[in-house]
Chains A and B, each alone.
Chain A
Amino acid sequence: MDDDSRHALFEYLLRLGDDRLVLGHRLSEWCGHGPILEEDIALTNIALDCIGQANNFLQLAGSVENKGRTADDLAYFREAIEFKNLMLVEQPNGDFAYTIARQFLFDVFSFHLLEELQHSSHQELAGIAAKAVKEDRYHLRHSREWVLRLGDGTDESHQRIQSAFNDLWMYTGEIFQADKVDDLLFEKGISVDLKSIESKWSENVSEALTEATLAVPDAEQYMASGSRQGIHTEYLGHMLTEMQILTRSFPEAKW
């Protein structure tokens, strides 16, 4: 593999890993504080899946980079500006509706992405995706069912989840913005065509929102972008400060 491809693949694996690490971390903040015991357990399961997937992608990123960095090194010793996750997943939990809307918007994307990545020409990447897509199929079923229940539940739940979708919509544009990394890897059959994923995403999202009696937010609005280049919302820095405090304070220690 030439240096450009290797570098692109490293970047791409960081994106895959960071999306799931940051989302898993956010979901883990719910543990012990869920709306009902059963759902507390469900959210934690999804958090665990996400962190497990992140671990696999980051480990592979470290080996592709070939500088001896482990998944933990990448998770705990990078600055916010070096994180490549989507802004969507770093948004704070808000209420349960906000968490579900964030989850659903990501799950639809992630499910279709991983389904394609199973056929990546990069075997290790394809292997991780094949395992992860089974978990994501479940995540999507879970978040979609909750979108229906909150959208078509009570007036209060309807309003809460509608406003969550409205607030989060500005972070959905950048999901499908392909850059040099995507283009180069797509040519080599390693990554996927974001355009085809975008059309499936739009179809699934509007179908679910309609079934849930919710309005699909206006696409013609300000759309944030830049997270794949390390430009984030203010929230990520605080999250990482908390996440990395112990490892950064005692860099020599083993835990």
Chain B
Amino acid sequence: MEDESKLRAFEARIEAGEKIEPKDWMPERYRKQLIRMISQHAHSEIVGMLPEGNWITRAPSLRRKMGLLAKVQDEAGHGLYLYCSAETLGVDRSEVVDQLLYGTAKYSSIFNYPTLTWADIGTIGWLVDGAAIVNQTMLAKCSYGPYSRANIRICKEENFHKKQGYEIVATMAKGTPEQKRMVQDAVNRWWWPSLTMFGPPDKDSPNSAELMKWQVKLQSNDELRQRFVNLTVPQASVVGVALPDPDLKYNSKTGNWDFGALNWDEFFAVIKGNGPCNRQRMRARRIAHENGKWVRDAAGAYAAKKRAA
């Protein structure tokens, strides 16, 4: 069969470390999986603007205000790069955005938690961006050219996000007693959700084997999660913040930090829409999208008039 030999050639190319480009032959499954993954990634960037955007108008200094604004703006940029790379696979941005706003498209569950104090902004930069960087560093090496290139650009830019967050955490952790309390409280709330960002355990992750075979992913969810824990534990101790896990301890046999059980029931509930802020986040995005329609229409109409003139 022709497809059979095309599939073998495709897999041989991936095996040889070649990148797949938009117009190359690819199995329908590969295309579908990529569209799903890339658009979820893009949605996460866009929805992720909201919890941090919540503190832009209350940032406590001009320097912090500019840093946070630039960071949230980068997330819009990252969403944009990612939507564009999804579009190389034959979907429209408006289609996938519609699936987010009016359908069942998913995004990272972490953004359905509220940002309650300024310390949350530091903690998100440190932990949530830290986890995202671990994931995106892997995706920068993935087999699909446009997605790999988007992630390379994202990783370059996102470095400052994590540093900014860690700086906020470090400053508050050696600040007033109220600030110290705020930081510890924020870390207590964000630690566990940030560990779930890598997705369900390998044994419950139905797509993983296929994605790894085609080198869309190069490491498993559990491997990435472990890497993130190993990186983060020493960072927490430098600033004197406790990670809220009594089971966290160094395993000299494996060289890893062992950690306690994650609450997967909560993770799946939040993914399905039952988290503290799911409705609030989607409402904000729908309002922005619907209020923007007349603007997009106006610019389209103006361009059409000028073309006709």
11 more contacts with CB within 8 A, not counting A31-B76, A37-B80, A96-B291, are A33-B288, A41-B77, A47-B69, A55-B66, A76-B61, A153-B297, A153-B302, A156-B294, A156-B297, A242-B58, A247-B61
The winner among B83, B178, B294 for most chain A CB atoms within 10 A is B294
Residues on the A chain within 8 Å of B274, using CB: none
Q: Does A36 contact B (CB under 8 A)?
A: yes
Q: Does A250 contact B (CB under 8 A)?
A: yes
Looking at A105-113, A144-152, A214-222, the stretch in contact with chain B turns out to be A144-152
Residues on the A chain within 8 Å of B305, using CB: 152
Cβ contact within 8 Å between B65 and A33: no
Scan residues 152-182 of chain B and give those whose CB is less than 8 A from a CB of chain A. 168, 171-172, 175-176, 178-179
Give A92-110 as 1s and 0s: 1 = Cβ < 8 Å from B's Cβ atoms.
0001100000000000000
Scan residues 217-255 of chain A and give those whose CB is less than 8 A from a CB of chain B. 242-243, 245-247, 250, 252-255
Query: Which label, helix, strand, loop or mixed, suits the secondary structure of the A interface?
Result: helix
Give A29-40 as 1s and 0s: 1 = Cβ < 8 Å from B's Cβ atoms.
101111111111
Partner of A40, one of B65, B76, B296: B76
Considering the chains assembled together, what is the distance between the CA atoms of A239 and B256 in angstroms?
49
Q: Does B72 contact A (CB under 8 A)?
A: yes
Binding site for B on A (CB under 8 A): 21, 25, 28-29, 31-41, 44-45, 47-48, 51-52, 54-55, 58, 71-72, 75-76, 95-96, 148-150, 152-154, 156-157, 160, 242-243, 245-247, 250, 252-255
Looking at B7-15, B30-38, B49-57, the stretch in contact with chain A turns out to be B49-57
Q: Does B212 contact A (CB under 8 A)?
A: no
Cβ contact within 8 Å between B66 and A41: no
Residues on the A chain within 8 Å of B57, using CB: 25, 28-29, 242-243
Residues on the A chain within 8 Å of B53, using CB: 31-33
List the 6 closest pairs (A to B, CB-CB), nearest first.
A35-B292, A153-B298, A157-B298, A35-B295, A32-B49, A32-B53
Could you tell me the distance in whole angstroms from the C-beta of A186 to the nearest C-beta in chain B?
Answer: 29
Residues on the B chain within 8 Å of A71, using CB: 62
Listed A/B pairs (9) with beta-carbon separation below 8 Å: A32-B284, A34-B76, A40-B76, A44-B73, A72-B63, A148-B302, A153-B298, A156-B294, A245-B58
Q: Does B64 contact A (CB under 8 A)?
A: yes
Cβ contact within 8 Å between B295 and A51: no
Considering the chains assembled together, what is the distance between the CA atoms of A21 and B69 in angstroms?
14
Residues on the B chain within 8 Å of A152, using CB: 302, 305
Partner of A41, one of B50, B73, B179, B294: B73
Could you tell me the distance in whole angstroms from the C-beta of A75 to the nearest C-beta in chain B?
Answer: 6
Residues on the B chain within 8 Å of A29, using CB: 56-57
Could you tell me the distance in whole angstroms from the C-beta of B300 to the nearest C-beta in chain A?
Answer: 8
Considering the chains assembled together, what is the distance between the CA atoms of A58 and B65 in angstroms?
15
Considering the chains assembled together, what is the distance between the CA atoms of A76 and B301 in angstroms?
43
Partner of A48, one of B49, B66, B171, B302: B66
Partner of A157, one of B49, B58, B294: B294
Considering the chains assembled together, what is the distance between the CA atoms of A29 and B58 in angstroms?
11
Residues on the B chain within 8 Å of A34, using CB: 76, 288, 292
Give B62-95 as 1s and 0s: 1 = Cβ < 8 Å from A's Cβ atoms.
1111100110110011011001000000000000
Residues on the B chain within 8 Å of A154, using CB: 294, 297-298, 301
Residues on the A chain within 8 Å of B176, using CB: 250, 252-253
Considering the chains assembled together, what is the distance between the CA atoms of A255 and B173 in angstroms?
10
Known: A51-B65, A157-B298. A32 touches B72 (CB 8 A): yes
Could you tell me the distance in whole angstroms from the C-beta of B53 to the nearest C-beta in chain A?
Answer: 4
Q: Does B308 contact A (CB under 8 A)?
A: no
Partner of B76, one of A41, A96, A246, A250: A41
Residues on the B chain within 8 Å of A38, using CB: 80
Q: Does B60 contact A (CB under 8 A)?
A: yes
Could you tell me the distance in whole angstroms from the C-beta of A39 to the nearest C-beta in chain B?
Answer: 7
